[in-house]
Chain A
Amino acid sequence: MTNLMAMPLVLPILMAVLLIFLRNYRYVQRVLVVVTLLVMIGMSIVLLQHVHTDGILRLDFGGWQPPFGILFVADPFAVLLVLIATIVTLFCMVYAFSSFSARYERMFAYPLMLLMLAGVNGSFLTGDIFNLFVCFEVMLLASYALIALGGRTEQLRESLKYVITNIIASWLFLVAIAFLYGTIGTLNMAHIAQRVQEVGSDPLITTIALFFLIVFALKGGLLLFFWLPGSYSVPPVPIAAMFGALLTKVGMYAIIRTFTLMFTAQPEITHQLITIMAIITLIAGSLGALAYRDIRQIAAFNVIIGVGFVLLALGANNEAAYAGAIYYMMHDMVGKAMLFLICGTMIYLTKQERYDDMSGLIRHYPLFGWMFLVVMVSLTGMPPFSGFVGKVMMGEGLVASGSYVSLAIGFGASVIILYSLLRVMLHAIFGETMIADEDKVKLPKPMLLSIVVLGAVSLYLGTSAEMVLPYVTDAARVLADPSIYIEAILGK
């Protein structure tokens, strides 16, 4: 049973390898990708149910007991994110089937996307800080290839920035791990947490914590997001959607995991700093979302606003805020994937990148136009869509801890999201159409389908909050009380 936990990492790797041998059989590739991802979604749901009833599970690779071996830990937070990541990947893939050219499909695009998912899932599930580094690298190596695949000039320019930034971040990550190992003498995350608690508030550990914060802030786009808008807007649409939906989430997950579990000794320094960084990120992201007219840039800055909003939870540091953060992260994965897919489709349909060069898309593509309304409402956080529940809980948490500044700026940013997308909607979706009926580009069904389904997932997360909430509160409890996690790993 515990072996089920390895599957979100192992299945995509195995299937990616298989697809390399099936390079020239495009349709076989597509079928296999869909089947694998459906199986993975099923497994994640079973695993989630299992974790919900039996508590946190662990898988010791090769039977080596913690704290000596490398292990995977299935806690509700990780499994929820794995589930949503796999669902999002499935629909990005379905979208890719109709948007990738045959050449792209033969250049190993699907295997690379699967490998990236493997790295993302591995990062969520791992319970060992060095293994976290390895899973980060798996994810990043796949993303390096994906961002440059196609070889257009701007792709190469942005991929160079992206690769250099991430290599420096990875190097810092390795240095930080070395410092931590030198100080604490263990790499198992639960064991580190235990030893840090024994040491108490030690300035050395706080310094190491800040090191980790820089690393994860670079990867997650918290304050240090200078590389993000460029590199997220150059790859092909479905890949950009996966980037926007998944990659920053891994950095955010790592920040939340390490700063709720391991580095909790001096919150007046670390958590305070994270809050300040989150607030600046929110403000800068809002400015960016307002400043640009290129819709891909607007989408990218919306990602940054999402990062800032979720990490406000660490400042509040209570269960309600964490529940809100988890719910919002799940919502954000679906919402951002949908936003990137929609923006990409708009560019595909009009051949324009600026929203003021587009007009009247809803006349030719009514359902697509309504989907833009859905994503806008969802990202703003209005009921009945998923953003609402997360924002309400986050608001409760922030009020409970008295962080009114965070509250005001976090909710103010929602208004900015609404405004930035409403501008696009009024210009590009409404208005008089500029395209004559005979010049109309056909919108392929699979593209529309994946956007509609993601919208439906967002609606489901919003309306069936009662079904999802028990899992989310489970996850939040673990974050608010790290001793549950430590006991599950080292107690047995």
Chain B
Amino acid sequence: MRINDVILRTVVRFVVFIILTLAIYLFFAGHYSPGGGFIGGLVIASAFVLLYVTFDIEKVKKGIPVDFKKVAALGVFLAVGTGFGSVLFGVDFLTQAAKKFHIPLLGEKELGTVMLFELGVALTVVGVVMTIIVSIAEGDGD
């Protein structure tokens, strides 16, 4: 039996982008205000899950051809790796630095190494959440 889900499909096409935009906003808002890599990653994962719910697994896999286990691993690598930056500069492990830059169009913005750490966290969250959900949905894969 095929259910008629044309409304869902149409809405999701737009909503996914809104969710991803929100995720990016939350990601950059982090550190000094509510948000950050963990929340951003969860929101990104929720967008992906919505795609999986709406379209079938094969189609989404064709669209996002990544192994989420490796995404998670890459995330951990990045997060732990930023710790080594502080080792190179001879300060305590995981010390972060931030500096104000003038970026054309955006104006005065503060860029910090903590963003790289948060990116690692976000990738880990996306990778882990998607691995869990997809492997439950697929039954026994691999």
Q: A residues near B, CB below 8 A?
A: 2-3, 6, 10, 13-14, 17-18, 20-21, 59-63
Contact = CB atoms under 8 A, between A and B. Distances in A.
A3 B95 CA distance: 11
A135 to B, nearest CB: 15
Contacts, number: 41
Given A17-B73, A20-B70, 18 more contacts: A3-B86, A3-B87, A3-B93, A6-B93, A10-B83, A10-B93, A13-B76, A17-B76, A17-B77, A20-B69, A20-B73, A59-B92, A61-B92, A61-B94, A62-B93, A62-B94, A63-B92, A63-B95
B21 to A, nearest CB: 30
B96 interface: yes
A21 B76 CA distance: 12
The size class of the interface chain B forms with chain A is: 10 to 19
Which of B74, B91, B93, B95 has the most A CB atoms < 10 Å from its CB? B93
Contacts of B49: none
Given A3-B92, A3-B93, A14 B69 contact: no
A16 to B, nearest CB: 8
Interface string B60-72: 0000000001100
A63 B98 CA distance: 14
Nearest to B117: A62
A10 B82 CA distance: 11
Contacts of B87: 3
Given A20-B69, A20-B73, A13 B80 contact: yes
A14 B80 contact: yes
18 contacts: A3-B87, A3-B93, A6-B93, A10-B83, A10-B93, A13-B76, A13-B80, A14-B81, A17-B77, A17-B80, A18-B77, A20-B70, A20-B73, A21-B73, A61-B94, A62-B95, A62-B96, A63-B92
B76 to A, nearest CB: 5
A61 B93 contact: yes
A60 B94 CA distance: 9
Interface in B64-116: 69-70, 73-74, 76-77, 80-81, 83-84, 86-87, 91-96
A388 B66 CA distance: 56
Nearest to B93: A6
A63 B87 CA distance: 12
Contacts of B76: 13, 17
Contacts of A61: 92-94
Contacts of B92: 2-3, 59-63
Contact of B80 (A3, A10, A63): A10
A346 B85 CA distance: 48
A105 B52 CA distance: 31
Contacts of A17: 73-74, 76-77, 80
B70 A21 contact: yes
B93 A59 contact: yes
A397 B83 CA distance: 43
Contacts of A20: 69-70, 73
A61 B95 CA distance: 7
Nearest to A6: B93
Contacts of A6: 83, 93
Q: Which of A14, A17, A18, A63 has the most CB of B within 10 A?
A: A17
B18 to A, nearest CB: 33
A2 B84 CA distance: 13
Nearest to A60: B92
Contacts of B86: 3
Contacts of A21: 70, 73
The 3 residue pairs across chains A and B that have the minimum distance between CB atoms: A20-B73, A6-B93, A17-B77
